[in-house]
Amino acid sequence: MLLIKYLITISLALLLMVNNAYALVVAPSLGGTAYSQNKPTLYSNPTYQGNAVDICLTWATNCGKPAADYFCRLSLGSGASSRRHTIVYDAPPTILPKTGQRCTVPDCDRFASITCSTKVVIFRNPTVNGVSLDICTTWATNCGKPAADLYCLKKGYSTSVSHEIAWNSPPSKLFSGQACNGSFCDRFTEITCR
């Protein structure tokens, strides 16, 4: 266990050489309890470029799930997929999401709904160097979503989906390591990343 702890500590430090002198730079240690879950998003009468989404990805091919999966990736990012979908038959005009072609003949079919799923990771009580993460990236600026986004980026995810805050709940710490101990300090209690 000591070896693992030592390796983790080493991975958080960088050795820099400047003007023939070495400097040890310690990166902030970001913590929090992580939970994974699939988050469903329902699209009723989904549209693309202002048109009803055709059930086929390309003209008369890759219909149903492939087209619904493509729509989910367009809407929510590369990790998304469709869980289920419903169809309205003979309901032109529609647009084929991959090619942008419009279908205007009477037998064009569209999605009535698509439920997309994307994997998210929820970090409860996120920390910086063991202290609750402040809601601002820098002192009293870029607060809320920008700070949650930065936390997610530093944890290897592309963006934050949501976050929860405990207002007036010190102590907290900014990414820089600066502590906030006043009664006005706010901290994240949860950040959801995707």
Pairing of β 172-173 and β 179-180: antiparallel
The DSSP code for 135 is S
**How does pLDDT run across 89-113, given as a tens digit for each residue?**
999 999 998 999 999 999 999 999 9
Q: How do residues 46-56 score in pLDDT, each as one tens digit?
A: 999 999 999 99
Q: How far apart are CA 36 and CA 76, in angstroms?
A: 17
Query: What would you report as the CA-atom Rg of the chain, rounded to the nearest whole angstrom?
Result: 23
| Domain definitions of the chain by residue range | 39-119, 129-193
pTM across the whole model? 0.56
Three-class SS state of 9: helix
HSE-up of residue 143 (Cα within 13 Å, Cβ side): 13
